[in-house]
Structure 1
Amino acid sequence: MPKSRGRRKSSGGKKQHKPVRRSPLPLRLSDQVMRDARRQFGGSGELLTAEAWASSWLGQAWLDAPITEREPEQRLCLEVVGRASTTPSPAGLAAVAALERVAPVDSRPMLTGTVAILAETQPLPAWHAASGHHPVRAWRAVDVWDSERVLFIAYDGPTPHTLMAQIIETGGTMVDKLGLLTPDAATAWSDMRDDDDIPMPLTVHDVSAALTDLAAALRTTDMTWPRHDDEDFVELRALAWTRCRDHLPDWPDHQPLPDTERTRLLDTFTATAARGTGPETADTIRSLAELFLDYGENYITTGPLAWSPGQAALFLADWLPRKAVLDPDQRTLLPDVLKQWVHFALTERGVEPRWIAPVIDAVDLHLHDFQDAFDDHTAWGPAKQITALLTSRGIGPTDQDAVDAALRTLNAERLARQLIQHPPIHNS
């Protein structure tokens, strides 16, 4: 018999080769949705449970999407519709029907049409025929510094409940947490708080105003990058948007302080803070007060005088080192003048002295952070770098020709440094 070509001689027993097991590809999010739908909708359920379930998956799609992905929720809805239509089942129909309740508006027609088609051969979930939930009452609790507020919006319907939203203002408006609570959650608010807690009295609030506030806060939260990843927020984000989207207001116009009010604040503060000092020190104090007021106007969303411990920390550890250029006199006086300004600003707002003290303590606490960050040139923003350069060369900001010449020189120097550090590679 002819020998087999390429066969090696046996050296004994046959060697056993174990098959290589390849790990399966990870499931796409839409596959996970369909798999979870079979568990979630195996029996009877409630409308609110279905809405919260769909909201959690839409929230996951939103959270996982890269910054370049413009419509992650719509894409998830499209993929779920495709899978539910390819292999019709009661669970698939329930998944599409649940998404229909809380999905973005642009996806609703597709979801509604798919539900109608699948319902011809599959039973609709019992909760599909239930009427929706309607807001009936609202309450609002705000802290003494106007830096945090909590909204309670009570709903009637198949499952009465309360939608809670915690909104913070430090660093910009953001919905920090969302929650689905019992119908009487708002009335229990006062009982949940201790005497030592920061005062946040609960007041009855207009329902429409609460929904408008929530919609505006959700909009700015969605613009934050990286995306807010608090689990409670992500799971209920789509549901909350569905409840308030029709109340989304136009972007508010910036309302600067009237010149007369600005002058009054600066004059009143300087007269007190500079008492007993010379003209030069008084000028330095006023220049710092102008800086504090400018920061408040542009970065404290609830008002230029609404300083809080968080705002003091953000101002000292982040904004001031990146944005401001201080001369030696301003830097020396900054700690005391800032504490005086905080006391003055909060007194103007009617805050009790015992709640002004924590803000002043925050100034003391974060002064070390300011000192470290202010001397770190790598943390400076571009505008501060340029301003510092012009100042060091004795160039005033109003001398446009000198500024332009200095910027051309700066750009040339930067290019020269880059070429020295990273010389071009020439192919021979």
Structure 2
Amino acid sequence: MPKSRGRRKSSGGKKQHKPVRRSPLPLRLSDQVMRDARRHFGGNDELLTAEAWASSWLGRAWLEAPLTEREPEQRLCLEVTGRASTTPSPAGLAAVAAMERVAPVDSRPMLAGTVGILAETQPLPAWHTSAGHHPVRAWRAVDVWGSERVLFIAYDGPTPHTLMAQIIETGGTMVDKLGLLLPDAATAWSGMRDDDDIPMPLTDYDVSAALADLAGALRMTDMTWPRHDDGDFVELRALAWARCRDHLPDWPEHEPLPDTERARLLNAFTTTATHNTDPETADTIRSLAELFLDYGEGYITVGPLAWSPGHAALFLADWLPRKAVLDHDQRALLPDALKRWVDFALTERGIEPRWITPVIEAVDLHLSDFQDAFDDHTAWGPAKQIATLLTSRGIDPNDQDAVDNAIRTLNAERLARQLTQPPIHNS
């Protein structure tokens, strides 16, 4: 008889072990797309609805991608076609067909080929054979300072509608919002605005010019980091790109202000702003005006004189503290000189006085931000740090030879410190 190996006595029945529940892995975005397609697509879908659905998923892929991911939308298209091909279904075919409408150009041949293969065994959605939507008219509304504009592009087709884009210029060109509106949205624009609202009169706009304007603004928005996360923009970004990509203009070339015009503006301003002042104060005010004009040329995209409340805020709280080195006299005269410059610049542009006042008020409002940021050395840009150090050593920033020699000296000092510091040994 074999010996017992220590079998436990029976306790009256087998003990049931509860299975250990493990947290399921999160669904990949492409899996979520396919699951949502089964819920979304039925038998009475419209082309515009399908395009908006696909655009929202492509927008999410774009928004959630890390900075190192160069083609997140193309990756999503590839994964969706793979899943739709592995398990064919009408919903999967509809998902691929919808993405084909609004996906980046490089992904469309793959999507179209997958649609052709799946259509051999699955019914195509009714909207797939539609001729699509075509732009028939456009309008544009621009605010009094040129810092914001709204585009309306009307489309005919299966579902007439208007594509709206709000574009802002403060801090750089960016599409702030996108919307799909009713066909008559543009005509209702004027009636929606009150008399106290900032003037933004609506004018007819060439359709091709509107699409080119939208494409250029989308390109600049895509370059912004972190990515613009407004919900309406993210959902309709791919659709908007699909509508305007063929009109994407060449990169605009920067056209500096002609020397004669720059001199005219500076002379005209200093003549009025320095009346009854001593020559030293007049020189200081002119030096500030040169700074104001530099900022306008480099950072106000619609023109160096197109100051707005937003531009005044950015100049005081961001650009000036990072870029400029001001002596005591310049700092003391800055508030009054900037308000005088804003009045001068906007008057040159023909802006009514009542719309110049909000910009001057913005100067007063953000002066405290300037004071705090200007004294924060950690906020200084590299050029300002070097310029401040050179000035502290008595180097004239306008003497190029002296500046070059001083920078070589600074580099030599930095290298010497690195060589003489004892090495750090990790324990």
For the pair 1:159 / 2:148, whether they are aligned, the reply is no
Q: What is the distance in 1 between the residues matched to 2:328 and 2:24?
A: 64
Q: What is the distance in 2 between the residues matched to 1:16 and 1:355?
A: 79
| Letter aligned with residue 341 of structure 1 | W
| Letter aligned with residue 327 of structure 1 | D
Larger CA deviation: 325-334 vs 14-23: 14-23
Q: What is the distance in 1 between the residues matched to 2:274 and 2:62?
A: 52
Q: What TM-score do you get using the length of structure 1 for normalisation?
A: 0.95
| Letter aligned with residue 150 of structure 1 | V
Q: What is the distance in 2 between the residues matched to 1:175 and 1:421?
A: 50
| Letter aligned with residue 282 of structure 1 | A
Matches within 5 A, 1:3-402: 3-4=4-5, 18-400=18-400, 402=402
Per-residue Cα deviation, 1:80-123 (whole angstroms, up to 9, x for no partner): 01011111110110000000000000011111111111101100
Q: What is the distance in 2 between the residues matched to 1:394 and 1:13?
A: 95
2:43 and 2:125 in contact (8 A); partners too: no
| Letter aligned with residue 320 of structure 2 | L
| Letter aligned with residue 313 of structure 1 | A
Name the CA shift for 1:390/1:144 in 2 (closer, same or farther; >3 Å). same
Per-residue Cα deviation, 1:257-288 (whole angstroms, up to 9, x for no partner): 11111111100000000000011111111111
Stretches of structure 1 that go unaligned for 5 or more consecutive residues are none
Per-residue Cα deviation, 1:172-220 (whole angstroms, up to 9, x for no partner): 0000000000000001001111111111111111111111100000000
Kindly state the Cα deviation for residue 2 of structure 1 after the two structures are TM-superposed.
3.3
Q: What is the distance in 2 between the residues matched to 1:329 and 1:294?
A: 19
SS at match of 1:120: coil
Kindly state the Cα deviation for residue 415 of structure 1 after the two structures are TM-superposed.
6.5
Q: What is the distance in 2 between the residues matched to 1:253 and 1:374?
A: 32
Per-residue Cα deviation, 1:140-161 (whole angstroms, up to 9, x for no partner): 1010000000000000000000
Q: What is the distance in 1 between the residues matched to 2:200 and 2:361?
A: 20
Q: What is the distance in 2 between the residues matched to 1:47 and 1:355?
A: 44
Q: What is the distance in 1 between the residues matched to 2:347 and 2:165?
A: 29
Q: What is the distance in 2 between the residues matched to 1:134 and 1:400?
A: 58
Kindly state the Cα deviation for residue 407 of structure 1 after the two structures are TM-superposed.
3.0
Larger CA deviation: 105-114 vs 412-421: 412-421
Aligned residues: 426
Q: What is the distance in 2 between the residues matched to 1:10 and 1:330?
A: 95
Stretches of structure 2 that go unaligned for 5 or more consecutive residues are none
Kindly state the Cα deviation for residue 404 of structure 1 after the two structures are TM-superposed.
4.1
Runs of 4+ in 1 over 6 A off after TM superposition: 7-16, 415-422
Name the CA shift for 1:397/1:9 in 2 (closer, same or farther; >3 Å). farther
Q: What is the distance in 2 between the residues matched to 1:305 and 1:83?
A: 55
Name the CA shift for 1:378/1:422 in 2 (closer, same or farther; >3 Å). farther
| Letter aligned with residue 185 of structure 1 | A
Note the aligned Cα RMSD (angstroms).
Answer: 2.3
Q: What TM-score do you get using the length of structure 2 for normalisation?
A: 0.95
| Letter aligned with residue 131 of structure 1 | A
Which residue does the alignment assign to 2:3?
2
SS at match of 1:188: coil
